[in-house]
C-alpha cells in the first residue's frame, strides 16, 4: 500500500508492505530532513508506524530509534557517495559504486528477517544525535552535484 505523508510542506512517498517500509528518497525529502534531521524523521517514523498498525493490525517490529537512524544513515551515505564521487568510483570499482547509489534511491526499512542490516541500525542508535547533526550541516546542493 502506498501512502503520502506531508512533512514540513513536503510530500513523502512511502510504501507499506508487511514487515517492510519503503521510503522514496527524492530531493524534496532530502531537503525536509536536512532542515530538521531529527524532528522530521521522528515525525515521519511516528506517522508511518501508526499507519502500519492500522493497515496490518499489528505493530511494525522496528524500534523508533533504529528506524530514525536507518533513515538518517541512508541519507548521510547518499551524501557521502555524491560528495566523494570521484574517489569512491575508483575505490568501489566494477559497478559497486552504482549499486550503492541505486540502493539510496529508496530507503528500505524492515523487521528482522526482512532486513539483513537491521542489526547495524540497532547498533548505530547511540550515534543518532551525531548523525542528525552531521546531516543538518549538509548543503542540499551536494545531493545534486556530480
**Rg of the chain taking only CA atoms, in angstroms:** 15
Domain around 119: 2-134
pLDDT by residue (tens digit) across 124-138? 999 999 999 999 888
Q: How confident is the model at residue 51 (pLDDT cuts 50, 70, 90)?
A: very high
Give pTM, 2 decimals.
0.90
77 in any annotated domain: yes
Cα distance between residue 82 and residue 92, in whole Å: 13
Comparing 142 with 59, the larger pLDDT belongs to: 59
Number of independent structural domains in the chain: 1
| 81 lies in some domain | yes
**Cβ-count burial of 12 within 10 angstroms (0-12 exposed, 13-18 middle, 19+ buried)?**
buried
d(CA 131, CA 69) in angstroms, rounded, equals 8
Residue 29 lies in a domain: yes
Whether 75 and 142 have beta carbons less than 8 Å apart is answered as no
> What pLDDT digit, counting tens, does each position of 59-87 carry?
999 999 999 999 999 999 999 888 888 88
Span 107-119, pLDDT tens digits: 999 999 999 999 9
Q: For residue 112, count other CB atoms closer than 10 A to its CB.
A: 12
In a domain, 21, yes or no: yes
Is 32 domain-assigned? yes
Amino acid at each position: 500500500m502506498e501512502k503520502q505523508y506531508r512533512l514540513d510542506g513536503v510530500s513523502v512517498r512511502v510504501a507499506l508492505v508487511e514487515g517492510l517500509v519503503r521510503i522514496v528518497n527524492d530531493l524534496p525529502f532530502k531537503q525536509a530532513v536536512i532542515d530538521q534531521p531529527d524532528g522530521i524523521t521522528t515525525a515521519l517514523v511516528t506517522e508511518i508506524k501508526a499507519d502500519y498498525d492500522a493497515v496490518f493490525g499489528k505493530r511494525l517490529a522496528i524500534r523508533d530509534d533504529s528506524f530514525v537512524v536507518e533513515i538518517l544513515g541512508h541519507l548521510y551515505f547518499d551524501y557521502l557517495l555524491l560528495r566523494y564521487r570521484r574517489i569512491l568510483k575508483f575505490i568501489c570499482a566494477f559497478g559497486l559504486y552504482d549499486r550503492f547509489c541505486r540502493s539510496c534511491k529508496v530507503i528500505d526499512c524492515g523487521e528482522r528477517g526482512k532486513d539483513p542490516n537491521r542489526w547495524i541500525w540497532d547498533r548505530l542508535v547511540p550515534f543518532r544525535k551525531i548523525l542528525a547533526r552531521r546531516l543538518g550541516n549538509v548543503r542540499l546542493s551536494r545531493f545534486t552535484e556530480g
